[in-house]
C-alpha cells in the first residue's frame, strides 16, 4: 500500500510539473518586415488602390498602431534599430549599407548585442528568412549576429525579383552556402518561412522568426497574373500604380500563406506576431502614404509613419487600436519582455508590451531623433535629420535645406513652418539635437 501511495504521489508530481512546464512555455515571436510599404497601402489604413484581405484580417485579430514610426527614412538604419534597440546612427548605420563600397553609408557595429542573440540566451531558436541588408562583412553575416538559421538575401535590393541578382551577383544564402532558388522572391521567402515553421512544429523550443520581404521595393515586378488581375479590376490605373498594387496584393497573399501555416501547425495559439514596414512608400513609384506629407527619403510623416499591427491570441485584444507612439527600436525591449530576457541597459527603445496588452497613451512623451546619410549629387555623402519632442517636430529633408518646425498637435500634415514665430522652441530643440550629434560624432560607420 505504501509503495502504491508513493507511486501515486510521484505521478501527481510529474503531472503537476508537466502542466507547469506547459503553462510556462515561452511564446514564439514572429517579426514580419516589408520594404517601402506606405501607410495608405493597407485596407485597414484606408487604401484607395490595394485589396489586402490577409493584412486586414490580421489587424482584426489584434492591435493596429496609428502612430508607429520607422527609425529612418530608408532601409538599413531601421533594420539596425530593430535588431539593436538603439538609434542606428549610434551603432554605425546612419544610411544605406551597400555592396558598392563607394556608395555604402554604414558599418553595423559587431560588438552590439542583437535581438536574436538576446533571445537565443533566453532559450529561443532564432531564424531569419529574407532580406538582411546590414553588411556583407564576415562578422556581420546573420549567422554571426545571432541567427541560428538564415535563408535569405544578403545585399540591399534585388535588380530582378526572378533572378534575385544584385549587380550581376547572387547573394542568396542558406546560412553561408550560396543557393539559387527559382521563382518570384516573395514566393521564395514565403516557402522558406513555411519550411522553417513546419520544422519547428516538431520542437518544444520556442522560436523567433524574422521574416523580411523585399517587396514592395522597386523594381516594380509583380507576377504577370497578378498584374493582369489588377488591370482587369481597375483599368484606369496608371502603369506604375497598377504594378505597385499587384506587387502589394501578391505580398498580402503570401503573408496569408504564412498565417495559414501557423494555424495548420497549431503554432498560432502561442505566437506573438508583429507586422511593419522599414519606411514609407517611394513617391516616384506612386506609393500611397495616406494623408501624410512626403514619402520614403523624407523626414515628413509619409517617410516615417508606417502601417504596424500586432497579434497575440488571448493576450492582445482583437480588433483594437492605439494612438500610443512607437518606433522600430522599441520592438527589441518588447520582444525581450515577452521572452523573459533582460535587454541591455544602454538601449534607446522602450517596451510596448503594456500598450499591446491594452494600456494606451496618446501623447508623444519622449524625445526622438531620425537621420539619414546618403551619397550622390543630391546628398554628397552628408547627413540630414528629424526630431520630435512632445508636440514639436524639426524636419530637414536634405543636408542643404534649412530646418522646419511644426506643431504636430494642430498640424500633423506639416504644412505651416513655425520656426520664425517660435524661435525659443526652435533654439531649444536645436540645442538638444546638437547634443545627440555630439554623441554620434564618435561612432565609426566605415570599416
Dump pLDDT digits (tens) for 198-250. Answer: 999 989 999 999 999 999 999 999 999 999 999 999 999 999 999 999 999 99
- The 10s digit of each residue's pLDDT in 297-318 is 999 999 999 999 999 999 999 9
Per the document, the length of the chain is 447
Report whether 113 contacts 84 (CB < 8 A). yes
- Tell me the pLDDT band of 360, cut-offs 50, 70 and 90: confident
| pTM exceeding the 0.75 threshold for the entire prediction | yes
For residue 170, give the 3-state DSSP assignment: strand
Cell numbers of 86, please?
Answer: 538603439
Catalytic residues: 75, 133
For the chain, the domains span 26-356, 367-440
Query: What span, in angstroms and rounded, lies between the C-alpha atoms of 270 and 353?
Result: 15
Mean of the per-residue pLDDT values for the chain? Answer: 94
- Tell me the pLDDT band of 359, cut-offs 50, 70 and 90: confident
- The 10s digit of each residue's pLDDT in 109-150 is 999 999 999 999 999 999 999 999 999 999 999 999 999 999
Evaluate if residue 11 carries a pLDDT over 60: no
Which pLDDT score is estimated for 126?
98
- The 10s digit of each residue's pLDDT in 22-60 is 345 899 999 999 999 999 999 999 999 999 999 999 999
Which pLDDT score is estimated for 25?
86
Which pLDDT score is estimated for 364?
73
Report whether 208 contacts 124 (CB < 8 A). yes
Which pLDDT score is estimated for 24?
52
Q: Which of 281, 257, 372, 318 is nearest to 34 (CA)?
A: 281
Query: What span, in angstroms and rounded, lies between the C-alpha atoms of 166 and 65?
Result: 34
Q: Which of 313, 293, 272 is nearest to 60 (CA)?
A: 313
Evaluate if residue 16 carries a pLDDT over 70: no
Report whether 215 contacts 251 (CB < 8 A). yes
How many Å from the N-terminal Cα to the C-terminal Cα in the chain?
A: 74
Which pLDDT score is estimated for 23?
43
Q: Which residues of 338-354 are buried (b: 16+ CB within 10 A; e: fewer)?
A: bbebebeeebbbbbbbe
Cell 552590439 found at: 112
Evaluate if residue 91 carries a pLDDT over 80: yes
Query: What span, in angstroms and rounded, lies between the C-alpha atoms of 28 and 196?
Result: 13
- Of 3.30.56.10, 3.40.720.10, 3.40.50.2000, 2.60.120.200, the CATH number of 26-356 is 3.40.720.10
Evaluate if residue 288 carries a pLDDT over 60: yes
Which pLDDT score is estimated for 52?
98
Which pLDDT score is estimated for 362?
66
Evaluate if residue 19 carries a pLDDT over 90: no
Q: Which CATH architecture fits 367-440?
A: 2-Layer Sandwich (3.30)
Strand ranges (E), 203-318: 207-212, 271-277, 308-311
Q: What angle do CA 339, 342, 343 make, to 5 degrees?
A: 105
Evaluate if residue 21 carries a pLDDT over 50: no
Evaluate if residue 13 carries a pLDDT over 90: no
Evaluate if residue 4 carries a pLDDT over 70: no
Q: Residue 423: which H helix or E strand, with range?
A: helix 423-440
Evaluate if residue 338 carries a pLDDT over 70: yes
Cell numbers of 175, please?
Answer: 546560412
Q: Mean pLDDT across the stretch 56-85? A: 98
Q: What percentage of the chain has pLDDT greater than the value 90?
A: 92
HSE-CB of 54 using CA atoms within 13 angstroms: 14
**How many helices (H) and strands (E) in the chain?**
12, 18
Evaluate if residue 398 carries a pLDDT over 80: yes
Q: In the β-sheet with 320-322, what is the strand arrangement from edge to edge?
A: 177-178, 172-174, 149-153, 125-131, 207-212, 28-34, 271-277, 308-311, 63-65, 320-322
Which pLDDT score is estimated for 15?
41
- The 10s digit of each residue's pLDDT in 152-207 is 999 999 999 999 999 999 999 999 999 999 999 999 999 999 999 999 998 999 99
Which pLDDT score is estimated for 6?
45
Amino acid at each position: 500500500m505504501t509503495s502504491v501511495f508513493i507511486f501515486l504521489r510521484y505521478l501527481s508530481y510529474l503531472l503537476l510539473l508537466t502542466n507547469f512546464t506547459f503553462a510556462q512555455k515561452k511564446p514564439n515571436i514572429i517579426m514580419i518586415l516589408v520594404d517601402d510599404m506606405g501607410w495608405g497601402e493597407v485596407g485597414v489604413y484606408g487604401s484607395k488602390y490595394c485589396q489586402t484581405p490577409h493584412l486586414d484580417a490580421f489587424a482584426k485579430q489584434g492591435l493596429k498602431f496609428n502612430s508607429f514610426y520607422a527609425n529612418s527614412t530608408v532601409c538599413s538604419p531601421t533594420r539596425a534599430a530593430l535588431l539593436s534597440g538603439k538609434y542606428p546612427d549610434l551603432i554605425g548605420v546612419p544610411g544605406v549599407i551597400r555592396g558598392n563600397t563607394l556608395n555604402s553609408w554604414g558599418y553595423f557595429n559587431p560588438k552590439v548585442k542583437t535581438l536574436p542573440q538576446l533571445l537565443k540566451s533566453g532559450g529561443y531558436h532564432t531564424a531569419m528568412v529574407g532580406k538582411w541588408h546590414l553588411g556583407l562583412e564576415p562578422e556581420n553575416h546573420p549567422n554571426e549576429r545571432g541567427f541560428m538559421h538564415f535563408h535569405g538575401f544578403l545585399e540591399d535590393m534585388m535588380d530582378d525579383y526572378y533572378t534575385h541578382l544584385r549587380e550581376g551577383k547572387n547573394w542568396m544564402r542558406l546560412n553561408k552556402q550560396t543557393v539559387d532558388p527559382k521563382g518570384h522572391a516573395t514566393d521564395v521567402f514565403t516557402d522558406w518561412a513555411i519550411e522553417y515553421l513546419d520544422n519547428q512544429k516538431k520542437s518544444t523550443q520556442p522560436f523567433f522568426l524574422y521574416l523580411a520581404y523585399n517587396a514592395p521595393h522597386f523594381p516594380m515586378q509583380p507576377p504577370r497574373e497578378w498584374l493582369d488581375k489588377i488591370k482587369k479590376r481597375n483599368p484606369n490605373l496608371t502603369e506604375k500604380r497598377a504594378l505597385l498594387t499587384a506587387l502589394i496584393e501578391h505580398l498580402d497573399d503570401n503573408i496569408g500563406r504564412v498565417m495559414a501555416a501557423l494555424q495548420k501547425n497549431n503554432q498560432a495559439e502561442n505566437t506573438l506576431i508583429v507586422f511593419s514596414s522599414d519606411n514609407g512608400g517611394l513617391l516616384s513609384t506612386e506609393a500611397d502614404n495616406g494623408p501624410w506629407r512626403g514619402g520614403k527619403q523624407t523626414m515628413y510623416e509619409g517617410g516615417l509613419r508606417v502601417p504596424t499591427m500586432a497579434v497575440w491570441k488571448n493576450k492582445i485584444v482583437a480588433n483594437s487600436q492605439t494612438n500610443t507612439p512607437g518606433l522600430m527600436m522599441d520592438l527589441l525591449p518588447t520582444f525581450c519582455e515577452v521572452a523573459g530576457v533582460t535587454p541591455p541597459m544602454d538601449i534607446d527603445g522602450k517596451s510596448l508590451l503594456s500598450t499591446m496588452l491594452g494600456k494606451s497613451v496618446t501623447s508623444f512623451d519622449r524625445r526622438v531623433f531620425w537621420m539619414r546619410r546618403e551619397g550622390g549629387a543630391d546628398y554628397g555623402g552628408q547627413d540630414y535629420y528629424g526630431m520630435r519632442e512632445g508636440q514639436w517636430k524639426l524636419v530637414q529633408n536634405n543636408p542643404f535645406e534649412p530646418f522646419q518646425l511644426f506643431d504636430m498637435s494642430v498640424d500633423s500634415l506639416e504644412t505651416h513652418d513655425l520656426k520664425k514665430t517660435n524661435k525659443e522652441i526652435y533654439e531649444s530643440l536645436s540645442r538638444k539635437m546638437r547634443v545627440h550629434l555630439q554623441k554620434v560624432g564618435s561612432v565609426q560607420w566605415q570599416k
